[in-house]
Amino acid sequence: MSAPAHPNAPSLARATPFAAGALLGFVLLSGLRNTVLRFLQIQGAAHPIDGENPISFCNVFLISQLMLGAALLVREPARVRRELVRIETPVRIRLALDAFLGSFLAPLSFYLSLDHLSVITQTLLFSLALPASGLLALAWLREPLPPRFWLSLGLIVAGLLLSRVVPMGSAMGSDQLIGVVWALASVAATAVRQCLRQRIAALHLCRGLTSGVGNLGGALVFGLLALKIYGPQHFFYARIWWVFWVIAVYGVTVSLGTEVLRQVCARFYSVAQVALVGSASLVITIGSAALFLGEPLSPPVLGGSALILAGALLRFLPRGAGPPTPPLQGTARPLS
């Protein structure tokens, strides 16, 4: 995995301007990912090229995962080759399953759920990934639940019910039902991957192997799907708006930029510090969806979001005696 955080990680209040800027940039880009992706979906539907929607999960994730995978791989190619040769078959199977979940199933279901739900609805639903990861770690890895887990789960569920972003029973249309099913599939894939990555982290493999190879594999699969479903013209459209938003904004700035800033933050802050501040990405996502996409921001949504955020932040409160429980990683977004 990536290098551990600096042993003398500064407090958030005493961080240098560079470190603080990197952390704030990481939170901002993480929070904007859903909004940018939904904007691409809307733009593609409104501006067909040669009668075809130029935006799909195929070309969006092909480009973003190709950039991210290549960037991770070129940082330490020799180490990736060495570790790839020496790891045993069970570890290879774990890495392959992790790549399938994190670089294919989770982003695919994430994209398709966003195609049927609003950004705010999808974001609030995905908050279930945090308790789902904890319960799965208890059942699979025999890890104890974090302190105040049930209170956290209760706040998250109460927030979802209060926000009323998903109609219950017969009030839910078929389109929304499809979106909810895909969102829950993304939650499940993320929870399973979280447990897998905790097992993989104990091996201290480089990030080029644990994430870079998986992202390149995912890009290859999405590229093959694009060829099969749409044809070769779907890989690239010579339209200024397409090049700018798909490649420059989503591929380079949001996907690759988030990874670069994440690595910079890891040099200055502990995992817990990054995860604590990273919880604010929920606010960025909901605020940007309301501001740029015009999604309604009603009092129930605000109240429900506050409860969900409180539930997520409970894990960072000081506990009694004993070592602190490490925060769950990889549950904020399903994309690598």
| Separation between Cα atoms, residue 331 and residue 279, nearest integer Å | 10
Q: What is the pLDDT of residue 335?
A: 52
Over residues 246-274, the pLDDT tens digits come to 889 999 999 999 999 998 988 888 877 88
Contact criterion met (CB below 8 Å) for 112 and 181: no
Q: What is the pLDDT of residue 2?
A: 43
Over residues 145-159, the pLDDT tens digits come to 888 899 999 999 999
Over residues 195-225, the pLDDT tens digits come to 999 899 889 999 999 999 999 999 999 999 9
| Separation between Cα atoms, residue 182 and residue 299, nearest integer Å | 26
Burial of 293 by CB count in 10 Å (0-12 exposed, 13-18 middle, 19+ buried)? middle
Radius of gyration of the chain (CA): 20
Contact criterion met (CB below 8 Å) for 275 and 327: yes
With cut-offs at 50, 70 and 90, classify the pLDDT of residue 1: very low
**Mean pLDDT value across residues 104-109:** 95
Helix (H, G, I), strand (E, B) or coil at 52: strand
Burial of 251 by CB count in 10 Å (0-12 exposed, 13-18 middle, 19+ buried)? buried
| Separation between Cα atoms, residue 163 and residue 102, nearest integer Å | 28
Angle subtended at Cα 5 by Cα 149 and Cα 29, rounded to the nearest 5 degrees: 75
Over residues 7-25, the pLDDT tens digits come to 555 566 567 888 889 999 9
**Mean pLDDT value across residues 151-175:** 82
Of the candidate ranges 53-57, 111-115, 326-330, the one whose mean pLDDT is the lowest = 326-330
Q: What is the pLDDT of residue 38?
A: 95
**Mean pLDDT value across residues 96-124:** 94
Whole-number average pLDDT of the chain: 86
**Mean pLDDT value across residues 130-141:** 92
Q: Which residue has the tokens 């104890």?
A: 144
Which tokens sit at 203? 């091996």
**φ and ψ at residue 333, rounded to 5 degrees:** -145, 145
